[in-house]
Structure 1
């Protein structure tokens, strides 16, 4: 059995083929809703993987319902196998409320109902017009009005959709009280509009541009919008991305938002405002509440949003209508993760009235009347504070409605580095150099649901809209199916069949629970922070090292993203998906550069996400994003992975990753087998899969052929970092000294192993197979093994044989079936004597309360996210690779 076949078998492909049957017509893949069945007709997109050779490009599918009937789906290839068959398919469908027990079914011919779908797209010089059958809107191709109109059944629901940015020239600091900032309004100016998908069930329109001064010519801060439309669905999903390209010392964002005008057709007493509050709560009031000194016959009908008679038709009530106060302006501000406040006022010459406050608002606002209106909902509203919702002009002919991703009622964004002094790398693990601690080129993505209504919605309908926005509407298949197909690498399903496996599963559960609680208790929230976790813990202060150089925000260090995604894949748990989704959104945008000379690279962990001078491929690599992309079909993530493949090499030419370690050589820059080259390979592999273009495979082979000619394979680098000469223009590697044998620990810890699991079976290259097996089998191996392999004496092992690297001999066991590697893997992974991680206590917490802490907290005194993510990844992967060789007895689970 060759190495390629061995790995495929280990992934469960043969079992999957038996499940699917020999004929593609027998494909029937079960689906479920990630966050519960929808409460109204819902458009949804998702991805499904296939075994190699089973699904052709011409394959047609349908969505099978619980009653046995089928409905049309839209499908497109997300990735290809090397033989040209489909590896991942993207699907879109429109599901009825309450739809459950669904499945994807292969059909012989194209489903005619797809061709009869109601979605229509017209693209001409004036703009893009979309008709879903349930609503109609226009997206402009020029100017500063992105969405000029939004209509239902001929009735205008919203107009003049614009992007707004307020810039000021200095920070809102106490020292500046006597010198107020100068502010200027900017509007999003459209430069290009592209229809990326045009139906029949799903349409995607990409809009790009920059913000331009409303009273000037300056432009900055590129934006990317994607609008998602589904046949028969009135809601519009909007993905909103900005990339900061300002001067961090002069361009402070005071407000960033999306605004619409909402026309009124009814008198004041029939106009209403709604804000979603905590959980499924809704704050609801009429613009003119008819509750005065004497009982009103309309009081309860009005509170429920029912249409009241016009003033002229009830002359006996004219005094009530004429004398009751009416309210013009409303706002909900969320300036922290734990506090929102609602205010309103009658007019601009009057004071704001405090209405009510709460803790965590879910981010929806509605303005309208008995004839309909508009709701806007910002996903992860309170988690991404400071945010705000604002409705102005409800006493006029039209209201102005704003959803603020950055609230203008909070301090302006301050993107400067946290200190003016560079701290020592050897003390604070912080590498700060002039010009590198910059936010220039970092991005941020937000999600808004645009919900038009042709009649006054109930509070329950609005609460449902808020829940659907905040809890990702996604169809997913089972962990068992994903595991059988071997999707996204080597990972295990939960298994408690033995005492040892049960102990490991307990630790995995405890680790996730701990970090979920820490995110909330330590409040790792905020516009630029939400999704990330901290790097290292300071037991002396009972806090994480949020203020100490390179020990603060994690920024993907040691593959935290992959730990969360593997945890989701094996469990199917929605709460883990939410953690992983938020982390991918954050780390792919905030921790990476999307324009400028460092485009294609990311920033290492630091107090500020972009603060460290280390800019490398390991943070921007596609392997960290693949799970989210393939499971959701998210186009923005696809762009990010493509940009990494296109620009990471040029980023390395600009920033030498080893400039602080190795002197400049005759080669353009330095790189290592890992994490640099394996990160690049992951980028190339992903583009090869997504496009089917072998030029990306050939880029892998250029470096591989260089390593194959070197005497020590992947170990042919200098020193503990295994540095080599590298030419980004050609992709060639050069050994700095023919005698070099280097250590390669970062090639494992930062996504290299997880990339290799996916590359090995599709590359099927004898040099790769030989060199990667050598890399895994020699890491931490006895000196005699290394000397036998290289034919020369070595004085110390190639790496530290500890638990972080246990999956390397595990991989060797998969490839060779030699049990010595399985034993070595478990020896690396499991503690050999009682200690702080013994007796099932690795992730046990202790409660902190009283005067030693500001509020009740929990603590694991020696915890670090590095060790947590690596321990969990090794556990998940080892159970798959060498679970059949796990020791029956160990003090950790035997308590001895």
Structure 2
């Protein structure tokens, strides 16, 4: 019998599809106050390129196909497009996604059920033979359905501003170009259109095709810009395939006189590098103040015939600088250099610390602006302009700079003789690295980058350029308040920041300290780089005053003990923009780099280590959808949606790799009808994928697997305390005849707590709820209580502070004051965590004992931070009204 997948029918089970109930009353759908949305960073963005965001709704309130209207506080209707991205089990709308176009932004908006306003200039999508044409009403983009040119042309007002948009890759002396295999229109207006392009990079002189890519292009009504989300998977050999450059390239027609052509670059702090291709300032002879002022401003200069003839007659003798490069090879330095043309020497033009990743080339009659988000954070990066003095300038946004050392993804040591499991376990004892030959392979890891492009009818003013650069660096996002989010009942157990009592204020101060400390550590420790940005380190080395970046499993965190969840719940309850941006960067990284998307480890993530792919523990606890859901529902990001959907069939990974292969004491061979799956980290990750797919209204098989396994856990004699279930891949069920007592301190700390809360709230599963409440009550219970319940004690367990939130959950669900008191005691004592009477401060450390001045808190570790944060947040939400003191 073939394994149960999303493409097959259940054997011995019901499909249980998501009910799209038609009985939800329209009166309920139209009731309630409007929801206010505001900009995450506050104020109103100076540059509007179109924005998409998500809003949650209480269960049973709105129809799944509910329409919405948007208006400003003064009553002005705003054109908006809406679609559902999440549903409650009764079929009512749980999450709606909304998008608005490029009209000038208000500081806030009111969203309410009702008819949407139509855009003045709708975005249109026309399918033609061999191409797709998208028109925003301002810019027109022609996308090819095949070949090595992704974007044939970008035009404005009938004039081509850019053409031949392609992907480029350099490997040794070979050049590869992205080849289109498939193009899909995912949305076609009227306010937003999305086009997905899939393919591989192919060599020019040989047949090899590699580095599969997915490009999404986003267009908004009335916009002169479009957004690109660029994702690729590394499918090469780490020993041979050293990428020298990876980028996106366009050709920009140039027609204005060289003195009316302009080049612009931005720094990360709002500064601009502004030059003309042929400069007429600073010359020995003066063309006139009006001429100089016009060129500096980027406006058309007065007719040459009006200039001082000592300049106008010698224009051909002034060098035209056609080539420019801005390279950011580290997080702390960029350089701009220029030359007249290929074959001649480069001249240093400018330098700085951090570039904004934004540039422009064009003339007074139009040009092309371009930007790469997180430019300096994801170094080595580069912006190239070539041939600006000729008929066509070539613009390349390098995701990996060709000026840098080639990308080297080889494993970092030779194995040191650890060829057997016993030897590898000995290595684990000393460096905390779970090494195994061949497992430190980057084959299948991915990376996503975000880019923006503008088709402009003139060289923008300095103020406009600065606004565009800001939009690249910090794309505007609309959000609602923590109170409104909490009222919708999404994401389980959390509550908005509350300083209403001294005891609560003390916990809020501790939570703020921990986030602010890590935010500073990112900058002070330079946790940046193409493959690293977004992650944090695991454990500190007090002697070196340094995080253990080079010590096995103590190095990069890779989502260990739910760092991602801590950040997202911190954002939900605070609404802080800096928290959101750090959580967003972490989700981008951990969902791409720390997870395999191709090959024998596909769908699995890699445990913490010196390299993100180094450790041999390939597990679902790292790739878990629990860490991705927040960014998806808050932004409707399609790439995150892809990553979550890919994991619906992740149960098949247990046939490919046994997570416990090194420590099993009895023979075990993976059997599709009896796969050993832990009821903690393993099932928790599967449940997150299945629940989220059900929540999104996706494949019904996900709901089936979720409910089948939940029911089976409830039928096990010892429920979650059994520790492991024998899973039948062909039916999506656990066997229920296992009787055992096996409890791990790790079971609940990779999203299981959060997912069980949401599952219990969503589905009528009394047996499952009893099993979970039993686990929550007994984990930190006494040995006598454990023996009375299941016949034996759990022994000495770790992470007691982390599990205080399980005690709090049991207290809340059973209305048990004694358990509530116990939960607060567990949190305050801080066993394997942070006690309430701990130091809660950092010290400033300067040279000569450290290279750079840093803030140091030697008592901080990322495991403890994530779990303290989650425990405190959930205790406040669940038993905050029973807080002592």
Equivalences for 1:620-769 in 2 at 5 Å?
Answer: 620-646=623-649, 648-662=650-664, 663-665=666-668, 667-668=670-671, 669-691=675-697, 693-717=699-723, 723-734=724-735, 738-769=738-769
CA distance in 2, matches of 1:515, 1:603: 22
Residue 536 of structure 1, aligned match among 530, 539, 549: 539
Residue 848 of structure 2, aligned match among 842, 848, 851: 851
Aligned length: 842
Correspondence for 2:372? 378
Check whether the contact 1:779–1:801 (CA below 8 A) recurs between aligned residues. no
CA distance in 2, matches of 1:230, 1:796: 57
Correspondence for 2:242? 252
Shift of 1:388: 0.3
CA distance in 2, matches of 1:58, 1:277: 44
Shift of 1:527: 0.5
Correspondence for 1:830? 828
Residue 84 of structure 2, aligned match among 77, 82, 85: 77
Which range is displaced more, 445-454 or 300-309? 300-309
TM-aligned CA distance change 1:834 to 1:715, over 3 Å:
closer
Check whether the contact 2:102–2:222 (CA below 8 A) recurs between aligned residues. no
CA distance in 2, matches of 1:710, 1:38: 55
Residue 122 of structure 1, aligned match among 107, 121, 126: 126
Q: Determine whether 1:299 maps to 2:292.
A: yes
| Structure 1 gaps, min length 5 | 1-19, 169-182, 718-722, 889-896
CA distance in 2, matches of 1:408, 1:873: 42
CA distance in 1, matches of 2:763, 2:831: 41
SS of alignment partner, residue 136 of structure 1: strand
TM-aligned CA distance change 1:836 to 1:865, over 3 Å:
closer
CA distance in 2, matches of 1:795, 1:622: 33
SS of alignment partner, residue 113 of structure 1: coil
Check whether the contact 2:266–2:273 (CA below 8 A) recurs between aligned residues. yes
SS of alignment partner, residue 758 of structure 1: helix
Correspondence for 2:232? 242
TM-aligned CA distance change 1:344 to 1:638, over 3 Å:
same
Shift of 1:766: 1.2
Check whether the contact 1:780–1:800 (CA below 8 A) recurs between aligned residues. no
Check whether the contact 2:65–2:84 (CA below 8 A) recurs between aligned residues. no
CA distance in 1, matches of 2:803, 2:696: 30
CA distance in 1, matches of 2:797, 2:30: 47
Q: Determine whether 1:480 maps to 2:470.
A: no
Residue 448 of structure 2, aligned match among 442, 445, 450: 445
Check whether the contact 1:119–1:230 (CA below 8 A) recurs between aligned residues. yes
Q: Determine whether 1:415 maps to 2:404.
A: no
Q: Determine whether 1:520 maps to 2:540.
A: no
CA distance in 2, matches of 1:355, 1:603: 43
| Structure 2 gaps, min length 5 | 1-25, 419-423
Check whether the contact 2:161–2:368 (CA below 8 A) recurs between aligned residues. yes
Shift of 1:97: 2.3
CA distance in 2, matches of 1:682, 1:847: 41
Check whether the contact 1:493–1:571 (CA below 8 A) recurs between aligned residues. yes
Correspondence for 1:770? 770
CA distance in 1, matches of 2:830, 2:212: 54
CA distance in 2, matches of 1:299, 1:481: 54
Which range is displaced more, 575-584 or 495-504? 495-504
Correspondence for 2:118? 113
Correspondence for 1:45? 52
Correspondence for 1:7? none
CA distance in 2, matches of 1:500, 1:447: 43
Correspondence for 2:363? 369
SS of alignment partner, residue 876 of structure 1: helix
Check whether the contact 1:311–1:321 (CA below 8 A) recurs between aligned residues. no
Deviations 1:794-827 (A, max 9, x none): 1445844721110111110111001111111111
TM-aligned CA distance change 1:45 to 1:215, over 3 Å:
same
Shift of 1:58: 3.2
Correspondence for 2:170? 166
Check whether the contact 2:828–2:835 (CA below 8 A) recurs between aligned residues. no
Correspondence for 2:204? 214
TM-score by length of 2: 0.92
CA distance in 1, matches of 2:225, 2:382: 21
Check whether the contact 1:621–1:683 (CA below 8 A) recurs between aligned residues. yes
Q: Determine whether 1:584 maps to 2:578.
A: no
TM-score by length of 1: 0.91
Deviations 1:131-168 (A, max 9, x none): 11011011100011111100001111001101000012
CA distance in 2, matches of 1:795, 1:66: 61
Check whether the contact 1:508–1:872 (CA below 8 A) recurs between aligned residues. yes
Deviations 1:111-144 (A, max 9, x none): 4625x75211002331110011011011100011
Check whether the contact 1:665–1:725 (CA below 8 A) recurs between aligned residues. no
Shift of 1:296: 2.2
SS of alignment partner, residue 118 of structure 2: helix
Check whether the contact 1:21–1:27 (CA below 8 A) recurs between aligned residues. no
Correspondence for 1:15? none
Shift of 1:21: 9.8
